[in-house]
Amino acid sequence: AITGSEKKGLTIVVTEGFGEMKMAKRTFELLTSLEGRMASVNGATQIRAGVIRPEVIVPRTDGGQAVSPKSELEGGLALGMAVRIIRQPNFGRIGRVAALPVELMDIETESKVRVLEVELEDGTRVVLPRANVEIIES
């Protein structure tokens, strides 16, 4: 089911940063840099197949050319690409794809999955299932 089409009159997009978890520094800096600008919000969400995430859209004011996200991301994950981890124990951490091994790897659940190696902002590297990250569009 897709949420976000309810007629509530107000849409709130929660990134992270509630309870003990801090908002990702990059997200905070981006939103802070856009303070006072006109924005559109699409609160539609679907967490099953065909994931849909809420989005905040702020028009460019520098006259720059718009880039189609699909053209940038057509090939999927690539070395050097910025990603955000969406599962514990590193939930919310940001890093860059450091390796994309071809072979399947056993994980804790004893499933065999495709993994990637992510170099986190502090320089540490973690190996995790590819399904546990989302690509950060820039």
| Burial status of residue 132 (CB atoms within 10 A of its CB: 0-12, 13-18, 19 or more) | buried
Q: Answer yes or no: is pLDDT of 66 > 70.
A: no
How remote is the C-alpha of 36 from its chain's centroid? 24
**Which among 72, 87, 75 is positioned nearest to 131, based on CA atoms?**
87
Q: How confident is the model at residue 136 (pLDDT cuts 50, 70, 90)?
A: confident
pLDDT at 13: 78
Residue 75 pLDDT more than 70?
no
Q: What is the mean pLDDT of the chain?
A: 82
Helix (H, G, I), strand (E, B) or coil at 74: coil
- pLDDT number for residue 22: 74
**Which neighbouring-strand residues pair with 82?**
96
In this predicted model, what pLDDT tens digit does every residue of 94-111 receive, in sequence order?
999 999 999 999 988 888
Percent of the chain with pLDDT over 90: 30
3-class state of residue 127 by DSSP = strand
Q: Is the peptide bond before 89 cis (omega within 30 degrees of 0)?
A: yes
Give the pLDDT mean for 71-78: 66
At residue 61, the pLDDT reads: 78
Q: For residue 96, give both structure tokens.
A: 């860059």
Which residues are within 8 A (CB) of 67 and not within 5 positions of it... i.e. 6 or more apart?
none
pLDDT at 68 over 50: yes
pTM of the model: 0.56
Helix (H, G, I), strand (E, B) or coil at 71: helix
